[in-house]
Homo-oligomer: A and B are copies of this chain.
């Protein structure tokens, strides 16, 4: 195993977020499942956007948010994801590079526009996402640079990659290269409905140890094992995965591995403004902790700290230095 050039490399759907505050009525009127991510086509994207109020735009994408968080903590980070070379794609590329993340995936010259997620944020801070994948659907194994993967200590993949047609193959290619080079592979289950779409394949990935570390929230965990019983599902995940972390919103998280389960309380927040990116930033903190070699409890604390930062403002990219925040709270950086 050679010295790593990157601490964490993430692969995901590169998505530009179009965020709007709205009332619950809007979700009902448009048949949206509150709190979920729904894939939409161009026509539905246009209809939702037309009905939406004035928006704020901030780069997003689940794994991209995580990777930006990892970089913000001070680790060396890289991202692989597909945008188009259009105005929005150029905003996206600027933002991720400006966050000190290496980003070399070739932007598509033609084809669909850069992907956008129309995110409705209700007064309780919950976010409901409607994602038009656009150019992200063309991520393929050709976008995976073996040398870059081999040089990354952790490779972080999002379950959402199962949606676009060739991204799954990119995922599996990256995972194999990583393991061939003694690296660690992490997966986030992304969304309960996403787990519903690919339950069998996700279980295979975990049980075959194609992934070493699994991130999930309660809803995703329960969808994975088709049960309402959290404790029972957690035991199953602990048996299936080498290492698993389950986030539980205001109850913090649990880290499960072997025969141990560690619970870490949530970091207190004054007001939840927008939960977009909460899981993504949790993963950023936890992965950063592993990069620095801290124990699981400390890694969990870094995760809940980053999640707390992100839910106190609009959008899924940090507005405060996570490194400074961790230092302020006596956590390792």
Binding site for B on A (CB under 8 A): 18, 21, 49-50, 52-59, 68, 86-88, 91, 94-96, 98-99, 113, 315, 317, 319
Contact = CB atoms under 8 A, between A and B. Distances in A.
A59 to B, nearest CB: 7
A113 B91 contact: no
Given A88-B87, A319-B21, A94 B59 contact: no
A56 B315 contact: yes
This chain: how many copies in the complex?
Answer: 2
B88 A54 contact: no
Given A56-B58, A57-B57, 5 more contacts: A18-B91, A49-B94, A54-B59, A54-B317, A57-B91
B56 A57 contact: yes
A59 B319 CA distance: 19
A260 B88 CA distance: 51
Contact of A86 (B57, B87, B91, B95): B87
Contacts of A88: 87-88
A58 B57 contact: yes
Contacts of A18: 91
Nearest to A49: B94
A19 to B, nearest CB: 10
Contacts of A50: 94
13 contacts: A52-B94, A52-B98, A53-B99, A54-B59, A54-B94, A55-B95, A55-B98, A56-B57, A56-B315, A57-B58, A86-B87, A87-B88, A88-B88
